[in-house]
Every structure is written in structure tokens, then in C-alpha cells.
Copies of this chain bind each other. A is one copy, B any other.
Amino acid sequence: MTAEDDPKMLKTTATSIAVLEYLEETHGARVSEIAESMGLPKSTIHGHLTTLKHKQFVIQEGDFYSLGPELLRLGNKVRTRDSGYVLARKFTEQLFEETGLRSIFAAEMDGKAVFLHTASGNKMGWAHEQLGNRLYLHSTAVGKAILAELPEQRVDQIIEKWGLPAETESTITTREGLSAELEEVRNRGYAVNRGENFRELYAIGDAAARRPGDVIGGFSVTGPAHAIVETGKEEELARQVTDIVREFELELSLV
């Protein structure tokens, strides 16, 4: 989408990936369409698709191409790398069953929160669609919970890398504001996101560590503002979230 002309990038690989990303956006496409959209000759695109098809990164049905199963296989390894990630699945579902709110488990990767598990009532759609998406740490409940357990130095690195961009008018955008918030999270024992990411969407999150200081990710529940801040609701939800984290950490220590 945005023009990428960083130095030191392998153009061929970058183009192949751009093709994959195009197929993702469009839910599959044909050669000519891709070629036109990307401003490249059909023959070039054809070459990329042939290569990607060989590796099952794309599959071909007639003359229609879409993302292939090898991407699913590799992508899934990301969720399997840490045994804790795998274990987190059932706790995410349990959290949803108890609260009735959209529940997620996210891990910190490269300074962002990556959704590894989601559970929600919606039969269709969005829960699955978020997997692999990256959100900022400073504007989400899980993110702030994770940051609160990271050494200051690490927090600085992350801020230097990603900044503190405002996503709504409630987003924390200053280092001092964030420090104060993280201190509050530590005192309170859990993190709250009050529409800092999406307007009117509130969330409660807590981080989980393999052993003290070794954070592997965090859980959170998300809902419309009124569902979270209703009298007494926040404390009850917070207890449910932190209880799940405790149970998770206990079982994790036994693995």
C-alpha cells in the first residue's frame, strides 16, 4: 500500500510478499488483476505466482489464485513456539465462558501485542480474523499490563521503536503519562483500557509470566463501555481476569 523503498531490501522477495498481501486483501485474485493493481507486467506476476504455488504459499483454482495452506502451517508455528502459548488457548476460552465478553490472549513480539487466541460468542467472523494482528502496547489493556511488568529500559526501547501514537482522544501519548499509568497498573493489579484504542471499547487485562519477571503474554476481556464500567462490574471482571491468569501461571509452572 504505502510505497516501500527502504534500502537493503531484496526486491524479488519484497514483490512476492506484496503479491501475498494483495491476495490477502482481495481474498484471492487473477493474474491480470494483480498485475494491473501492482503496476507490473502479467509475466512478472505470473513468475511470482508460479514460485509461490510450488511452495503452497498460494493455491490455484482454475485461473484464480488465493493464499495457500503452507501459510497456515507456518503461521501456526508462531502460536506453538512457546508451550505457554498453546496452554493459553483453553484459558482464553474459559475466560470467555465466565465473562461472556470477547476474550483474547496476546503475546508481546517486537514491541507489539500479537493476538494468539481469541474467544467470542459471535458465530461468524471477527474473533478469527484478528489472529496475528498487531496492536500497540500503550493503547490496549493487555499491552499496558505487559508493559507494567517489563523493565523501564525495555519500555523505552519499545517507545523509541513505535512511538506513542494517538488512536483516540483518550490514548496516552506521553512518556510521563504512560509511566504514571503503568505505576497505577502495578498497584491495582490489572490494566484498564478506556476507549484508548477504539472509541467506546473498554477492556480489562492482566499479564502472565512463566516465572516472576518473565512475561510471556496477557489475557484481556473487551466490551462496550457500559458493559465494563457498570457499577461494580469492573472489579468483578478484573477478579475473573486475574484469577484466570493465576490459574494459567500455576499450570504453566507445572509444564
- Asked if B69 contacts A109 (CB within 8 A), the reply is yes
User: How far, in whole Å, are A155 and B126 apart by their CA atoms in the complex?
Assistant: 35
A8 contacts the other chain (Cβ, under 8 Å)?
yes
- Asked if A124 contacts B255 (CB within 8 A), the reply is yes
Least Cβ distance of A92 to chain B in Å?
Answer: 13
Task: Report if A75-B71 is in contact (Cβ < 8 Å); known contacts: A124-B87, A255-B124.
Answer: yes
- Asked if A12 contacts B9 (CB within 8 A), the reply is no
A124: contacting residue among B77, B78, B86, B109, CB under 8 A: B86
User: How far, in whole Å, are A14 and B12 apart by their CA atoms in the complex?
Assistant: 10
Complex interface residues of chain A between 22 and 41 (CB less than 8 A to chain B): 24, 27-28
User: How far, in whole Å, are A60 and B161 apart by their CA atoms in the complex?
Assistant: 13
- Asked if B13 contacts A76 (CB within 8 A), the reply is no
Least Cβ distance of A224 to chain B in Å?
Answer: 23
Quick one: closest B residue to A78, CB to CB?
Answer: B72
Task: Report if A69-B78 is in contact (Cβ < 8 Å); known contacts: A10-B12, A123-B87, A124-B86.
Answer: yes
